[in-house]
Structure 1
């Protein structure tokens, strides 16, 4: 008898390893969790593009050291958010499977603090730059 693709031993063990036991949540909640994950990935890609753009196109706006600092901050923020998005997706999926409360989002304050740091650097540079 053939095993349906969703019930193959490899798929079940991978699902159990990543998500643990529990019952499957309503597909609408799982898909909403996936959309949220993808939104975080889009945010990460935008920050990545911003970091590349600052390094590539802002040579005449900023001192090289400041430009590199802004670009590195944006790129690091992009990297951390992309990685954290995956763990956030897994923890939310696990919580839904076990009927537990959803975990607090670490990504939102992380993004706010990172954006604040980048904005602070830009404000300082603009403030001390001669007119």
Structure 2
């Protein structure tokens, strides 16, 4: 009995290598879903910041932080998809797993959002 044919999308995304242990592929997928949940939380937080008036905060600052948080959520979502593909390719070809570039990006977004929030509260 031969192995089933992979879909055209799978052949296009993963042209080289062999199928990894399904446990590793599923673990990679769970990590992707966790990053997706994080991005949805950022998007919801940004929408909430934009939707509700916060007493004592300048509306321009509030809008700036809301946009920054929403953009952060979009970056996290895109980064999660790219990371999933890179990790899957590395597992299929037996290469070391790539360093997660999304973590410094997320840290920067959180730092800038907190800095702007502190400035908003202090003003």
Which interval holds the TM-score relative to the shorter structure? over 0.9
- Kept in 1, the 8 Å contact 2:39–2:76? The answer is yes
> Once superposed, which parts of structure 1, at least 4 consecutive aligned residues long, lie more than 6 Å away?
none
Q: Which residue of 2 aligns with 1:7?
A: 5
Question: What is the 5 A alignment of 1:6-85?
Answer: 6-7=4-5, 11=7, 13-85=8-80
1:61 Cα deviation after fit: 4.3
In terms of Rg, which structure is larger? 1
- TM-score, scaled relative to structure 1: 0.87
Query: How many residues of Structure 1 are paired with residues of Structure 2 in the alignment?
Result: 121
Q: Give 1:126's aligned residue.
A: 121
The TM-score normalised by the length of structure 2 is: 0.92
- Any stretches of 5+ residues in structure 1 without a counterpart? none
Deviation at 1:70, TM superposition (A): 0.5
Alignment of 1:76-95 (within 5 A): 76-95=71-90
Asked if 1:107 corresponds to 2:105, the answer is no
RMSD of the TM alignment (CA)? 1.5
